[in-house]
Structure formats: structure tokens, C-alpha cells
Amino acid sequence: MDPAQMLQRAPHSPMAGAGWLMDWRLTFGGEDYGWEGALATIVEQPGSQVFTVLYDVSPEDEKNLDNWEGAELGMHKKLRLMVQTLDGSALAWMYVLDAYEGGLPSARYLGVMADAAEAAGAPEDYVEKLRKRPCHNVGPGSSREL
């Protein structure tokens, strides 16, 4: 979701809106894949919802994102899911981590996620829940420790 990261990883793909992925929840997993800890992913859960940002991804940028997300290594599956926006439903693809759920993300990683959600217009309570999730402190500049 982070606009600066997306500009770097997908420079030809403008933001196209935001919405909610219904009946899915945000979680973390693949702690052994990440440099700082567990990575964000989504899992199905009726009644839950995940705030998401939509981008109009160019074919060139899609290849770059696939490489960045480790698609060739089998780290992620790309799922096509419906996102509820203010303008109705939109079909989008999401990278879903192909790893066991569990593990803690770093404080820095959670901070980037929360800042990006806030910048994209996520509700304050959603951003606050992100900022208060359990995490671990990794390296200088991290502000929280479990």
C-alpha cells in the first residue's frame, strides 16, 4: 500500500482507489522468508475485512511486482478477489503468502503499513489497530518491542 514503495516498484501504475476486501483478515506469516520478521498476508475469515489500496498496474510493472514478491520462488500466490469500493465492486489481484500463518512482524514493517493505510484514507480505528499489533523490535530506530 505504501505510495513511495509502489512508485519505486511499479512506476507506471497509478493509484486507482481504495476499498475493503470482505470476509478476509490481515495476518502475518513466513517469518523465515522476511529479513525483519513475519510478512503481511491475508486469509479467509467470514465477517472480517481488510483495507486495501488499488492500483492500475501496467503489464511491465506487474512483472516487476511478481519479481519483488518472489513469485518465481513460489513465496506468493496471486489471487483474483473482489474489493468493495465507494464506486461498487472491483476485481483485483492480491499476493497471498504461501506459508504458515504465525510469527511477528517488525515494528518498522508495521509502521510502514500503518502509515500507508493512513495516507490512503483508512479509518482511524483501523490504523490504530495496525499500530498496536504485537511486533518485535529490529535494529536501530524501531520503537516497540514485545
Q: Is 69 a catalytic residue?
A: yes
Quick check: 60 and 38 in contact, CB under 8 A? no
Quick check: 136 and 99 in contact, CB under 8 A? no
- CA–chain centroid gap for 124, Å, is 17
- Out of 31, 36, 60, 69, pick the active-site residue: 69
Estimate the crossing angle of helix 124-131 against helix 107-119, to 10 degrees: 170
- Rg of the chain on CA atoms, in Å: 15
Quick check: 65 and 9 in contact, CB under 8 A? yes
Question: Reduced to 3 states, what is the DSSP secondary structure of residue 137?
Answer: coil
126 is in an annotated binding site: no
- Residues in binding site for substrate: 109
Where in the sequence numbering do the catalytic residues fall?
Answer: 69
- Residues in binding site: 109
